[in-house]
Structure 1
Amino acid sequence: MARRRDGGYRPDGIDDSFTDAQPGGADPRDGASGQVAAPQIGAVGLLRFAWRQLTSMRVALMLLTLLAVAAVPGSVFPQQSQSPADVAQLIADHPTAGEWLERLGFFDVYASVWFSAVYILLFVSLVGCILPRTAAHLRALRSAPPRTPRRFARFPVVDGWTTDAASPDEIVDVAARTLRGRVPGLPRFRVVTGTEADGARTVSAERGYLRESGNLLFHMSLLGLLVSFGTGQLLEYRGQAIVTEGRGFANAVVDYDTFESGALFDDGALEPFSMTLDRFESEFRVSDAKAQDFAAYVTVRGSDGSTRQETIKVNHPLSEAGAKVYLQGNGFAPDVTVRDAAGEIAFSGPVPFLPEDDVYTSQGVIKVPDVSTGEQIGLVGYFLPTAEVSDGGARSVFPQPFNPLLVLTVYSGDLGLDDGVPQNVYRLETDGMTQAVEEDGSPVTLLVAPGETVDLPDDLGTLEFSALPRFVALDLRHDPTLVWVLVFALGALLGVSVSLFTPRRRVWVRARTDSADDGATPRTVVEVAGLARGDDSGLQGEVDALVAALPGAPAHDAPPEPPEDESEGTPPHDPTQDHPGPSTGKADR
C-alpha cells in the first residue's frame, strides 16, 4: 500500500494524480467547499449522450407509444383531406378553438409537423439500434461458444458422477455428438471441445442464437412497416363515388365525389376503366330487420375495351387496374321531376337519400336552382322504405321498400350556390330561404308515393315521384405498398414469437481421470453444468437428457451434490463473469 499525501492509503499501481494541483497552480477542488469540480461534457459528449438515449429501448418504446397517441386526433377531428366541409363547419361553429386546432395541425394530423417528427425520430431510433446490433450478432455467430468455467457449483443446473465405463475422450465424444443434434430429443448446439492444462477434456456448447435473430427480425420488420406506411402515403390514391342503378363512373379524378392522393402521385397515372351498376340487391331478416347480405352487380369495362360481369359484396372487393373497389354503403335514390310555375322542367333525376338507422329511414335534400320564375326551390326531408303513417307522424318499420314514401318540407329563395362557397350536397342552407307554412303557421309537409305528382305550395310548381332506384357508395383505393405492409407485419409477428419462445442456453461438460493412490484402476470424473439467460424451466430437462445419453451416468431423481473439489460457502454470482461469452452489444429491446 502507498500513502497518499492527504494521509490516506491507496492500492499500489492506482494513479491518483488528478488530486494534484493543475498547471499554473490551479487546484481542481473548490477552496471553499473542497468539492472536486465535475468535468465538462462538451458538445461532442452531449451529442453522443443524446444518440445513445435515442437508440435505447426505453426511448424507442416511448416513441412507439407516442406515435400511437399522436394518431388519435386523426380519428377524433375531421380531416381536411377527407371531409373539408366538416372541417369548415367545425371552424364556423367554434371560431376560437377551431382556429387554434387548425394552426396546430389537428385537421391534417398525418401531415403535421409534430406527427412527422415523432415518425422520423422513431425511424432514426430503430436504424440506430438495428445496425450495431446486427454487426454484434454477426460477430457472435462467427465466434466460438464460451470456454468451460473452472467451477460448476454456482450454476443453476449441475450434475456429476464417477465411472469406469468410459474414458474422458469417450465421454467428450458422446457429449459433443449428442449436443450437435445427432441424438433425437436434443436440439442442435454449437459445440467446441478442448483440453485443459491438467489434461481434463471439456465440451462447451451454446444454442439460442435465433433469439437475437428473432429480435432483429422484429425490429427490421417494424422499420419496414414504417417505410411502407410512409411510402404508401406518398404514392396511394383513394376515391369515393355514389353510383345509382343504371349509371356508372369512370376511373378519372373528375368522376369521383371525393378524391385524395399522395404527394408523389400523378393524376395522369390513373389506369382508365369504367363501371356500371346494373342492379343492387339486399336481404334482411323478417323477424328483426337485420341485414343478411348485400350485393352490387356491375359491368366493368377495362382499358383494352373488354367487358365482364362482377359482383361486389361486403369484404369481397373488386380488383381492377391495381386498385380495389369496396362496397361501403347503400340506400335509395328516389327519381323525382320538379316543374316550376311555368311548367318547365327545373330538375329531374335520382337523388340519394342517406340512411340513418337500421330500417333505412333516409334523409336527403333536393336542390332546384334552375327555376325560370326566379325563386330557387329547396326540398328537405326523409324517405321511408316501409312507411307507417299515424297522427303522430310517419316512420319506417322495415328496410325493404314495401310501402315507400317521401316526406318533404319546402323552401324557396336563394340556395346560395352562386356565392362561391362549397356546400354539402346533403344539407340545405336555409339562411337565404323562406319555409312554406300552412295558415296556422305549421310547416307544409308533402307526402309523395311512387307514381304520384303533388303541387308545391305558394304556386312554386309540381313534384313527381316517378321511380325508386337503389344506389351504392363505392370506395376505390390503390396502395402499392399493401403487400409489403402484410409481409412486414407477418415478419414482425414471426420475429417476436421467435424471440419470446427461443431459449438461450449454455451447457458444459468436463471429464478427467481420477488417479488412485492405492494402485486401483483410474476412474473418470464427469461434471455437467447448464446455464440459461433468464428464467428457463426447460434447462433442467435438457441437461437431464444430455446426462442420460452419456455412458456411465447414474439414474437418480434427487438433485446432485456439488463436486467434491468445490469449496463450500462460495457466494453466488453470475457464472458468465468467469469466462464471458460473445456479446450482442445492447440489451434486448
Structure 2
Amino acid sequence: MSTVAPPRPAAAPPPPARPSLGARALGLWLRWWRRLTAMRTAIVLLFLLALAAIPGSLLPQRSLNQNAVRQYFADHPTLAPVLDRFYAFDVFGSPWFAAVYLLLFVSLIGCVVPRLAEHVRALRAAPPPAPRRLQRLPDSGELATPLPGPAALDVVEEELRVRRFRVVRRDGAASTPPGPAASGPELSAEKGFWKETGNLLFHLSLVALLLGLAGGRLWGYEGSILVTEGQGFCNSFQQYDTHSSGALVDSGDLSPLCIDLEDFRAEYEEDLTAASYTADIRYGGPGEEGEPATIGVNDPLRLDGDRVYVTGHGYAPRFTVTLPDGTAFTDVSAPFLPSDQTTMSSEGALKLPDLGAGVEDQLALEGFFAPTGLMQGGVLTSIDPRPLNPQVAVLAYQGYLGLDSGLPQSVYSLDASQIERGRLAEVGRANLAVGETLTLPDGTAITFTGVSQFAALQFSHDPGQVWVLAAAISVLVGLLALLFLRRERFFARAGPAADGGGTVLTVGSLTRGGGESATRFAELTGQLRAALDARSPTPSAPPSGGAAPEPEVSPRDR
C-alpha cells in the first residue's frame, strides 16, 4: 500500500535587504541637496541675508569707523561687549553672515544650473503636439473657412510666423493618440522663450553679483585720511587714519600712488548749506612731480581701478609756539573735527611731544575753533561755516602726553587718563583771534596765526566694481523680461465642415506670464479670421449691420 506525502508548506519570502550605510547616507544627502537647491530655500536665504545686514546699517562697523565703535563702547559699556560677541560691529565679516552668504550662493547655483540645461533642451525641441481636445484649453474656439484644410493651415502658419511664433505642422492621425477629436492635420506654435531666458538671466546675474561682491571683499581695500592744504600722503596702510582690506590683500599689493593737496574750496548756498567741495590735487608715483587734477564729491580721481574720493572737509588752525629761549615752531597745525556741520564749529588737539633739548615737559593744545566766531554769554560760538572771522578757544597743557606708552590714543583729542593721573596739567586758557597770543607761566608764547582747510580723502580699490555693475544691469534686464514677456502656445487643427463644404479650424491657446489671455486670444483669432477671409475664393459677406462675425469661443471664455 503506497502512501502520499503531505504537501510541504511554501517557503516564506526572504526579508527585504536593508540598504547599506553608504546608500542611506547618499539618500539623506540627496534629500538635503534637493531642499537646499529649491527656489523656496533660495528666497528664504535671500530674506535672511537682507535681515542679517540690518545690524550692519544700524550699528557702527570697525571696517568703516573705528572711532565710532570706540565711542559706542564708551556710551554703552554693558551692552557693547555682548553685541561684540555676536560680531555686531563686524557684521559683514562675521561667520554667520558668511554662512548665509555661501548657502545662498550654493542654493542659487544648484537651482539655476539644472534649469539652464532644461531651457537649452527646450530651445532646441519642437513645439509639442496639439492636445486631442482643444476645446478643453482655457482659450479655444472654431474658425470656419471655405479653404481646404492644408491651405487654411498655411494661412494660419504665415500669420503666426509674422508674430515670431515657432511653428510645426503635423499629421494629426500620426501625432496624437486615436480618438474622435484627434483627426485631421494640425499646427503647433509657441513663442516667449525670452521670458524663461530672462528668468535664468536674473538668477545667474544674481550669482555673478554675489561673486563680484565677494571678489571686492577679498581683493579690495580702502583707507581714509585727513589732508591739510600743502600736505599729502602716499598709498600706505601706515599713513591712513582708518583702513580696511580684504583677506587676500597684502601691503605689497597696494598701488604706488601719492596724492598732494594743493588747494581746497568749499562753496555754500544762501542758507549756508554746502553746495560743493572741490580739491586741486597732484598725483603720481613716489618721487615723481605728478599730474594736476581737480576732484569733487561726485567726481573722484579714477586710475586703473583705484578711486580717490572727497568725503568731507574741515579746518586746521595754525599756531606759532615760541619757547622762553627764543626757539620758535612756526605754523604748526592739526585738523579740528567738525562738531556741527551747519556752522562747522570744530574741536581738536595739537600735540608737541618734542620741544627740543633741555625741555622736559611736553606741550599740548586742546581747543574749539569757530570759523566765524561770536561771543555769546562769554562762550565762543560760530554763526557761519565760512572762515569770515576765525577764532579759537584753547586750553594749554604741559606734562607727559603718554604717546610712547604703547597704548593707542586718538590724534584728535588728548588722553583723559593722563589728565586724571596728574601727568598732564592745565597751564593756561584763552580765546584767540588771528594774531593774538597766549603766554604761559613759564614764558612760552602761543600765537594763533591763521587757519588752513583740510579735505577728508578716501582711497578705494575695488576690483569687482565693473563686474558688479554689469551684473546689476543684467539683473535688471532679466527682471524686466521676466515681468513683461509672456510664454504663449497656439494650436490649430483642420477638420471638415458639417455640411461637407470647406474647413473648420479648431484653435486653442495657452498663455503663461500675464493676464488678459482671453483678450489676446480674441484679437489673434480675429486677425486669423480676416486673413482667412482675404485668402478665400468667395469671402463671406458681413451681416447687414456691416460688422464681421465674431469667432466662436468656448462658453468658459464668455
Same fold (TM over 0.5): yes
Q: Distance in 2 between matches of 1:542 and 1:241?
A: 66
1:393 aligns with 2:372: no
Gaps of 5+ in 1: 1-20, 27-40, 182-186, 439-443, 563-567, 573-589
In structure 2, the partner of 1:5 is none
In structure 1, the partner of 2:459 is 476
1:215 aligns with 2:215: no
Which secondary structure does the structure 2 equivalent of 1:487 belong to?
helix
Moved more, 423-432 or 119-128: 423-432
The Cα shift of 1:307 comes to 3.3
Which secondary structure does the structure 2 equivalent of 1:110 belong to?
helix
Q: Which runs of 4+ in 1 moved over 6 A?
A: 435-438
Q: CA RMSD in A?
A: 2.9
The Cα shift of 1:533 comes to 1.8
In structure 2, the partner of 1:227 is 211
In structure 2, the partner of 1:312 is 295
Deviations 1:253-275 (A, max 9, x none): 33333332212123223332322
In structure 1, the partner of 2:245 is 261
1:560 aligns with 2:552: yes
Deviations 1:146-197 (A, max 9, x none): 2111222222322313222x1111111111121112xxxxx30111111222
Gaps of 5+ in 2: 1-10, 17-22, 174-181
Q: Which amino acid aligns with 1:62?
A: V
Q: Which amino acid aligns with 1:422?
A: P
Q: Are the structure 2 counterparts of residues 87 and 283 from structure 1 closer, same or farther at C-alpha, using a change threshold of 3 Å?
A: closer
Q: Are the structure 2 counterparts of residues 189 and 455 from structure 1 closer, same or farther at C-alpha, using a change threshold of 3 Å?
A: same
Count of matched residue pairs: 514
Q: Distance in 2 between matches of 1:309 and 1:351?
A: 25
The question of whether the paired residues in 1 share the 8 Å contact of 2:306 and 2:462 is answered with yes
Which secondary structure does the structure 1 equivalent of 2:456 belong to?
strand
The question of whether the paired residues in 1 share the 8 Å contact of 2:525 and 2:551 is answered with no
1:409 aligns with 2:395: yes
In structure 2, the partner of 1:11 is none
In structure 1, the partner of 2:176 is none
1:189 aligns with 2:173: no
The Cα shift of 1:445 comes to 4.2
The Cα shift of 1:43 comes to 3.5
The question of whether the paired residues in 1 share the 8 Å contact of 2:352 and 2:362 is answered with yes
Q: TM-score scaled by structure 1? A: 0.80
The Cα shift of 1:85 comes to 4.4
Counterpart pick for 1:129 among 104, 111, 120: 111
Q: Distance in 2 between matches of 1:531 and 1:25?
A: 50
Q: Distance in 1 between matches of 2:130 and 2:529?
A: 17
Q: Distance in 2 between matches of 1:249 and 1:77?
A: 30
Q: Are the structure 2 counterparts of residues 342 and 89 from structure 1 closer, same or farther at C-alpha, using a change threshold of 3 Å?
A: farther
The question of whether the paired residues in 2 share the 8 Å contact of 1:240 and 1:474 is answered with yes
Q: Which amino acid aligns with 2:185?
A: R
Deviations 1:186-232 (A, max 9, x none): x3011111122276121111111111111100010000011111111
Q: Are the structure 2 counterparts of residues 265 and 47 from structure 1 closer, same or farther at C-alpha, using a change threshold of 3 Å?
A: same
In structure 1, the partner of 2:59 is 77
Moved more, 54-63 or 212-221: 54-63
Deviations 1:459-513 (A, max 9, x none): 4722111231111011011111100100000001101110111101111111122
Counterpart pick for 2:496 among 513, 522, 525: 513
In structure 1, the partner of 2:139 is 157
The Cα shift of 1:311 comes to 0.6
Which runs of structure 2 are paired with 1:200-211 in the superposition (5 Å)? Answer: 200-211=184-195
Moved more, 359-368 or 472-481: 359-368
Q: Are the structure 2 counterparts of residues 93 and 482 from structure 1 closer, same or farther at C-alpha, using a change threshold of 3 Å?
A: same
Q: Distance in 2 between matches of 1:407 and 1:455?
A: 14
In structure 2, the partner of 1:35 is none
Which runs of structure 2 are paired with 1:459-498 in the superposition (5 Å)? Answer: 459=442, 461-498=444-481
Which secondary structure does the structure 2 equivalent of 1:432 belong to?
helix
Q: Distance in 1 between matches of 2:97 and 2:307?
A: 28
The Cα shift of 1:100 comes to 3.1
The Cα shift of 1:556 comes to 4.6
In structure 2, the partner of 1:280 is 264
In structure 2, the partner of 1:381 is 367
Q: Percent of aligned pairs with the same residue?
A: 41
The Cα shift of 1:248 comes to 1.4
The question of whether the paired residues in 1 share the 8 Å contact of 2:333 and 2:350 is answered with no
Q: Which amino acid aligns with 1:377?
A: L
Which secondary structure does the structure 2 equivalent of 1:420 belong to?
coil
The Cα shift of 1:96 comes to 4.8
Q: Distance in 2 between matches of 1:292 and 1:84?
A: 28
The question of whether the paired residues in 1 share the 8 Å contact of 2:362 and 2:401 is answered with yes
Q: Distance in 2 between matches of 1:234 and 1:58?
A: 29
Counterpart pick for 1:533 among 489, 492, 512: 512
1:504 aligns with 2:490: no
In structure 2, the partner of 1:334 is 317
1:271 aligns with 2:255: yes
Which secondary structure does the structure 2 equivalent of 1:469 belong to?
strand
Q: Distance in 2 between matches of 1:206 and 1:25?
A: 52
Q: Distance in 1 between matches of 2:514 and 2:470?
A: 32
Q: Which amino acid aligns with 1:113?
A: P
Q: TM-score scaled by structure 2? A: 0.84
The Cα shift of 1:119 comes to 0.7
Moved more, 290-299 or 116-125: 290-299
Q: Are the structure 2 counterparts of residues 149 and 351 from structure 1 closer, same or farther at C-alpha, using a change threshold of 3 Å?
A: same
Q: Are the structure 2 counterparts of residues 446 and 321 from structure 1 closer, same or farther at C-alpha, using a change threshold of 3 Å?
A: farther
